Amino acid sequence: MNRRQFLLAASAATLTGLAGCLNDSGKKFVGYWKEDLSGDKKFPALMQIQPNDSTYLITVRLRDRVFAKYKTFTKPGNVQDNIMMVDGKSMIAYTKATDTVQVGNERYTRITESEYKQTTSTD
């Protein structure tokens, strides 16, 4: 009986340690991000990534070209192999050297919360 209790406690400690490592790998994604403009785009997309228990919430704000207002979408995400998987479909990759994230062909640069709020308050 003591052996079973020991194995159960050791397994629980290992899983807790691994869960902590998973959360640490996602910290680099947390924050506010602004799309680098390219081509004919006039208004950048904005993204906020925040922790939500053991996962993350990714909120994207895109400017509607017809009505010139921002639309907001929120999707769940989790980190696997240093890549954030969004809703099981899209991937966000982090580049430490430039402190940027890549979503498909679009690159986002980290901004402050006040810059994020200032940009979103103009819609």
> Which residue(s) pair with 32 in the sheet?
48, 111
What proportion of the chain, given as a percentage, has pLDDT over 70? Answer: 80
Q: How many structural domains compose the chain?
A: 1
Average pLDDT, the chain: 81
| Alpha-carbon dihedral sign for residues 101, 106, 110, 113 | negative
Task: Please determine, for residue 15, whether its predicted confidence score (pLDDT) is greater than 50.
Answer: no
pLDDT per residue as tens digits for the range 36-60: 987 777 888 999 999 999 899 999 9
| CATH number of the domain to which 27 belongs | 2.40.128
Q: Identify the residue with better confidence: 21 or 37.
A: 37
- Domain extent at residue 94: 2-120
**Spatial separation of the C-alpha atoms in residues 77 and 56, rounded to whole Å:** 5
